[in-house]
Each structure stands twice: as structure tokens, then as C-alpha cells.
Amino acid sequence: MSTSATTFIPESGQAAAVEHGHDEQKQSFFSKYIWSLDHKMIGLQYLWTSFFFLLLGGLLAMGIRFQLAYPGMPVPLIGALLPSTIAIDGVILPGGYNMLFTMHATVMVFLVVMPLLIGGFGNYLIPLKIGAGDMAFPTLNAMSYWLYVLSGVIILASFFVDGGAAQSGWTAYAPLSSTPAYMNNTQMGQSLWCVGLFVNGLSSIAGATNYITTITNMRAPGMTMFRLPLSVWSLYLTAWLLILAVPVLSAAAAMLFADLNLGTTFFAAQGGQPLLWQHLFWFFGHPEVYIMILPAMGLVSEILPVFARKPIFGYKAMVWAMVAIGFLGFIVWGHHMFVSGMNLTLGAAFSVSTMIIAVPSAIKTFNWMGTVWRGSIEFTTPMLFALAFVSMFVIGGLSGIFMASTPVDLFVHNSYFIVAHIHYVLFGGSLFGAFAAIYFWYPKMFGRMMNETLGKIHFFATFIFFNLTFFPMHNLGLGGMMRRIADPTVYEHLRALQPINVFVTWAAFGMGLATFIFLWNFIWSLRHGKVAGKNPWKATTLEWTVPSPPGHGNFETTPTVYNGPYEYSVPGMAKDFLPQNERAPEGARLEVH
């Protein structure tokens, strides 16, 4: 805590910002790229690190798909490199398969989607969008990033310890996860999983504290809460969910760690309560679902108006819908547990509360459609991804309603129907939203545009292969295929479905390959992209009023905000957009005052 006094100095003053601009040249490599306190650099650190884990998580997914299509065959190319806990002579072991799906989900949830959307875009955009020089607590911010890296290292390291990585699924249901005798000697890996998630939680809490404080205290003059861009609102609400949900996972992970290493019996079948784990985990786990989708919703809400040249439809309804989703997200966790032996009356209550979430979700969907309705739409890559986000979210949302209904869930629970659902909301939702945001804010981050042609190839390849991969999983699930089985061909009733598994696997490979188009575009455009200028998309929010990339301290003088964030095609104005820091000309009829 010795440096805490330095930590808590907000850099809101414009004097400080300008002063910082001057000593930018003098920064050492270490203080600029490694222990940077600049929110933009920290945002980019998050971005690059999450790309690394995206590749890792994707590779694990390819392993899963290979095994499901060709069980018992050696993995080509990289099979020999796999640790002996996963594969022997390239043939994936049943326990190794457990490791693959457990770590695929753990990596994607905690090391890719959260850091990418919240760490990356949250850090980069919040101060720029609210007109602040930096985050409220820059040191805490840097610490949050390095705790994330540490958690990633711990989780990675678990592959190489005695017995290998955790095998109990990302949900780590007890007593499977808490009893060493049940888990193929992965006690060490499971323990590291607990530690990794605990450290990851510290990172999230540090980041969330920063976001809430920054958004509450450091908005530029005139930036009222209802003039905040929806992306900032979404990150603000997400931060609250993190503050309230993540510590419960930390508590549960600590108890699980104690069960594994200190001989306690929190979650043991004898003398403990295995169901307690599920309650604690899902008390975190369901808000976590919204933690991963809300930022994507916010970012997409930012992109649709720009490329439809229209104000967002129902700004306040969008805000209140997110508030409602955030709140309801805390009282629906039991819908993950309908078959757990939980009290059935309680199940009915969870069923109803879950269905109520469909209301604010539908409000958002209709408002997105209202936003693009009769707009002059430009189908740029970010717009395509944003529109894909909306449509994939609808599919994922609708299959969610199926499962919210207890009787239907009894049938589809633990089947590939669930796997299809989660990927429609998490990949088709969160990750498509993230791609939209990357294409959209890349010019601000690096001063150059990404290549549109490559972007569109990436989009269509990803979109098509995504649907070819995950839509048939609904059929697999309804056909009776269970989750988390290493070899579907040993089950009589699944043999007829095996061609679908092979098909899905090849589609997944196509989707994996499409990612390299994206990475190539990302890296190539750093040097060769078209120079972007301040405001290539003709957008209204404050980040587009400063140079690309913005200098240290962001704004030369603190901006004053006069308008809402979505003043496009304002009647009575010659220009078709009105930046937030420009006064409306005489006769302009604004959307939000």
C-alpha cells in the first residue's frame, strides 16, 4: 500500500494532461509498454494478451472437434507436441479430452471475452468517451492488467503440472472437482484452476472499481449520465455486476481449494454440500453471462447508429433495459440447476424470473432494429459484425427461452443443445460484438483503417462457418448427444449422428482458419492501412474529436458536452452528424436534450 497515495490521484485537470504530453518522449520502454499507467496502453495490452489467449482457446476447441469427429485417431501436425496428460502418440486420451473442454471454456471466458471486452475496450474507451484524461486510479489499472496476466500464466501452467490441467469442466461441479479420487489425479491442476480464478477475480475487481469511480467522478462538464454513450453505460453496469458477483466466485474457489488441499469438506458428499458449489458458482455464473454480453451490447449500440446515420432508437429504454438485465441477472442462477435435485418449487420461481429477462432483451433487440430501420445503411465490416451480433443474439436468446422452461430443460439439459445456445450468445454474441468493435475502433487505436476487403472476407467466412458449426449442434443435442463425452461413437444411439459431428468439425476448422485472415489484416494494417484521421466514420462521441491515436492525456483542453451521443441526420442541420462537444446550430431539432 506504500504507493497508494500516488495511486489515488485523478488526472482530470487539463494542466496535468498537457504536462504529460510533454514528457511522453522521455518515457522509457519499460514505463511506456510494460508498466504503463496510460489507460490506452493498458487497453491495448489487454487486447494483445487476449488475442494470444483467443488463439490458445481456439486451438483447444480444434482439439475438441478433432476428437469428436475422429476419436482414437492421432491428431495431425501438432499431435506429437501435446503433453502426455492430454495425448499419447498424438491420440487424445479421455482424460485429455476433459482437459481440453475444461480449459477451452476457462480460457475463453476468463482470459479472452472478459479481458477483451471489459479490459480492452473498457480501458481504452471509457476516459476518451467521457472526456477524461485517464482513469481515476492509473496504478490500480496497471495492477489489474498484470493480475490478469498472472492469472493467465497460472492457468497455462496447470497444463504442465503433475496430472495435467483441471478436468471437471469450467463449472467445476463438486464433488467431481473436490474429491481427488474422482478426477484422474488432477488435484494439482484443479487447485491451480482455483488460484487462477481467484487472481483473475482480483484483476476484475480492481478494474471494476476503477471503471465505476471514473464514470461517476470524472465526466467532462455537460456529460450527464443520460448523455453517456451506451457503451459507457454498459461497461458501468458490467462493472457493478463484477463487483457484486466475482467475489462470490472467489469465495467458492477458496473453499474448493481448501477442500482439495486442506482436507475440508465444504462440497463433499459426506459431511458437506455438493449442491452448495452449484449455488455459489451460478450466483456468480449467471451475472457472468451478462458481464460478457452487456459490453458487447453497448459497443454494438454505438456502431449501429453510425452506419445507419440515425439516432439510437429509444436511448433511455436501452439504458433501463440494461439496468433491468443486470438486476434480473442476479435472481435467475437456479435455471442452471433444474436437474440438480434442487427444490422444484424454487425451480419454478427461477423459471419465471428467467423468462422475465426476455423482456428487456427484446426491448434491446427491437430498438436495434428500430435504429437501422429506414436508415441509410453502410455495410462496412464493423456494421456487418454488429448486425450479425443482433441476429445471432436473437437465435441464442430464443434457445435460452427453451431452456428456461423447466420441462424442456429436463430434456435438453447437458446436451449439445446447450453447447449450441452458449456459443450463439457467447461467440455469435459477445465475440461478434468484439470483432465489430475492433474493426470500428481500430482507426482510433492505431491511426489507420483495417482493410475492408479482407474484413469482409473475414466476416463472411466467420459468419457462415459459425452457423455451420453451431447450428447443427441444436440437432445433435435434440438427437440425444450429451456434452462432455470423449467418444460419441461408443454410444449406440449416437452413431447415426456421427456424420453431423464430422461436418461440424470441418466447419469449425474453417472458422478457425478465418481467424487468421483477421489477424493478418490486423497486423498488416498497422503499417499499410489507409491513414484514418480523427473521425473516419463521422461519429459523434468524444473519442472522435481527438487525434488517432490520441496523445497521452487525451484532450488538450477538457471538452464541454452539449448534446446526447447519437445526433445523426439532425433535421435542420447541413452536416449529418453533431459531435457531442459542438453546440447545435440555430434551428437544429435534436433527439436528446
**Site for other proteins, rule CB under 8 A:** 1-2, 4-6, 8-13, 16, 19-20, 37, 136-140, 205, 208-210, 212-213, 216-218, 242-252, 254-255, 258-259, 262-266, 271-273, 276, 279-280, 283
- Cell readout for 473 is 449442434
What does the alpha-carbon distance between residue 592 and residue 316 come to, in Å, rounded to a whole number?
10
Cell of 280: 455459489
CB of 261 to other proteins, least distance (A): 9
Per DSSP, 496 falls in state G
Q: Supply 434's cell numbers.
A: 468484439
The residue (of 87 and 252) whose beta carbon lies closer to other proteins is 252
Query: 49: part of which helix (H) or strand (E)?
Result: helix 39-69
In the bound state with other proteins, the residue whose beta carbon lies nearer, of 259 and 543, is: 259
Report the nearest approach of other proteins to the CB of residue 248 (Å): 4
CB closer to other proteins out of 272 and 433:
272
CA 574, 579, 582: angle at the middle one, nearest 5?
85
| Number of neighbouring beta carbons within 10 Å of residue 588 | 16
What is Dmax (Cα atoms) for the chain? 76
> Least CB distance from residue 31 to other proteins, whole Å?
10
Which candidate, 255, 115, 101, places its Cα nearest to that of 191? 255
Whole-angstrom Cα distance, residue 176 to residue 256? 11
**Which residue's CB is nearer to other proteins, number 453 or number 557?**
557
Q: Measured at the alpha carbon of residue 279, what is the angle toward residues 104 and 203, in degrees to the nearest 5?
A: 50
Q: How far is the CB of 205 from other proteins (least distance, A)?
A: 5
Residue nearer to other proteins on the CB measure, 264 or 569: 264
Pick 18 or 454: Cβ nearer other proteins: 18
Q: Cell 484483476 belongs to which residue?
A: 203
Distance CA 297, CA 312 (A): 13
Q: Whole-number minimum distance, CB 586 to other proteins, in Å?
A: 36
Neighbours of 516 (CB within 10 A): 11
Q: Give the distance, in angstroms, between the CA of residue 49 and the centroid of all CA atoms in the same chain.
A: 14
Nearest to 149 by CA among 186, 111, 98, 104: 111
- Between 250 and 365, name the residue whose CB sits nearer to other proteins: 250
Q: How many CA atoms lie within 13 A of 103 on its CB side?
A: 36
- Nearest by Cα to 367 from 281, 304, 292: 304
Beta carbon nearer to other proteins, 1 or 574: 1
| DSSP-assigned states of every residue in 210-255 | HHHHHHHH-PPTT--GGGS-HHHHHHHHHHHHHHHHHHHHHHHHHH
**CB of residue 183 vs other proteins: minimum separation in angstroms?**
18
* Nearer to other proteins (CB atom), residue 51 or residue 284: 284
CB of 254 to other proteins, least distance (A): 7
Closest CB to other proteins among 273 and 498?
273
Minimum CB separation of residue 272 from other proteins in Å reads: 6
Task: Tell me the torsion sign for CA atoms 84, 90, 93, 97.
Answer: positive
C-alpha–C-alpha distance, residues 235 and 215, integer Å = 9
